[in-house]
Amino acid sequence: MPKTSAAITLKIVNDVRTCLLSLMLAGFAASATAADQLYIFTEKYPPYNDSVSGAGFAHDEDDIAGICTDMVKAALARVDYDYVMKMRAWSYAYNWVQDRENHGLFCTARTDEREGQFQWVGPLASIKWTLFAAPDSNIRLDSLEEAKSLKIAGYKGDVMSDYLIANGFNVITAVSGDVNTRRLMLGQADLWVTDGLVGPLVAKDEHGITGLKPVLVFRETPMYLAFSTNTDPAIIADLQKALDEARKAGELDKIEDSYKQ
């Protein structure tokens, strides 16, 4: 009897240890999964990113669409990471994701000035840096330098606006670009700097204004999904591989074509 009791006691102890070890391993696995959750932000920037409702913000990936959005989703569908996607004002999102692990932002123009601030997944689409004038404007430009004497509408944190400001141009910035069409129409600005597709679309959809004049295209840059520098590089490699596979499969071309119809 004593030996049998001892054996039973030892078995119970071993079972308890096994149970505790299993719980610990499960906890580690849960922690690893939580650590690999991605937090991805974007802005309202149709046709590249837009809310399904038309609002300037969204809290769920199902409420966000657009060329870049669909490309990012195509890549995410090929990996096992959980993620949340939200739409916020650009300046807020741009500052929020930096130095936060597993935080990303799209569509982010990849420039020399930003190169070391992020880890990059892409390219997605490209933007054409365009100066627009009002439909009745007679402004003509042969070079960017000729715009130095003019008042240009832009928005805070935008790569095009920041570039012009850094180079001594007179740029009036707002939190978003939605108001800039009206600034042109009211004579508060001579030009509006934005992407070649975005300008006419925003003018028409937000204000019913057509006929904006593209005065000058002065640069073109690729846009990326940009992650904070303290995100695990293995995650970046996984996402880049997934995006490359989606491109090779023709998914990205189909997405772009679908927005041209």
Res. 32: pLDDT tops 50: no
Binned at pLDDT 50, 70 and 90, residue 175 comes out as confident
Of 76-85, 94-103, 139-148, 251-260, the least confident = 251-260
Q: What is the CATH number of the domain that holds 186?
A: 3.40.190.10
Q: Are 175 and 200 in contact (CB under 8 A)?
A: no
Burial 212-239 (b: 16+ CB within 10 A, else e): bbebbebeebbbbbbbbeebeeebbebb
Tell me, what's the pLDDT at 29?
37
209 shares a domain with 170: yes
Q: Is pLDDT at 154 greater than 70 in this prediction?
A: yes
Query: Coil, strand or helix: which one is 144?
Result: helix
User: Within this chain, do residues 241 and 183 fall inside the same structural domain, yes or no?
Assistant: no
Same domain, 133 and 169: yes
Distance of CA 224 to the CA centre of its chain: 7
Predicted local confidence at residue 19, as pLDDT:
47
pLDDT at 26 over 60: no
Q: Do 173 and 215 share a structural domain? A: yes
Q: Is residue 20 part of a domain?
A: no
Domain membership of residue 217 (yes or no) is: yes
- If asked whether residues 160 and 242 sit together in one domain, one would say no
Q: Are residues 227 and 202 in the same domain?
A: no
Same structural domain, 169 and 239: no
Number of domains in the chain: 2
Q: Which residues contact 61 (CB under 8 A, 6 or more apart)?
A: 73, 83, 84, 85
pLDDT of res. 192: 97
Domain co-membership, 227 together with 119: yes
Give domain status of residue 1, yes or no.
Answer: no
Both 215 and 226 in a single domain? Answer: no
Residue 174 has pLDDT above 90, yes or no: no
How far is residue 246's CA from residue 124's CA, in Å, rounded to a whole number?
11
pLDDT score recorded for residue 33 = 43
User: 91 in a domain, yes or no?
Assistant: yes
95 within some domain: yes
Plot region of 125 (φ>0 → left; ψ -120 to 50 → alpha; else → beta): beta
Q: What is the pLDDT of residue 36?
A: 78
CA within 13 Å, CB half, 241 = 9
Question: Are 154 and 214 members of one domain?
Answer: yes
Which range of residues forms the domain containing residue 169?
Answer: 127-221
Q: Is residue 24 part of a domain?
A: no
Residue 219 in this model has a pLDDT that exceeds 90: yes
| Mean pLDDT (whole number) for 83-102 | 95
Q: Residue 89 falls within a domain, yes or no? A: yes
At 236-248, the pLDDT tens digits run 999 999 999 999 9
Q: Are residues 57 and 120 in the same domain?
A: yes
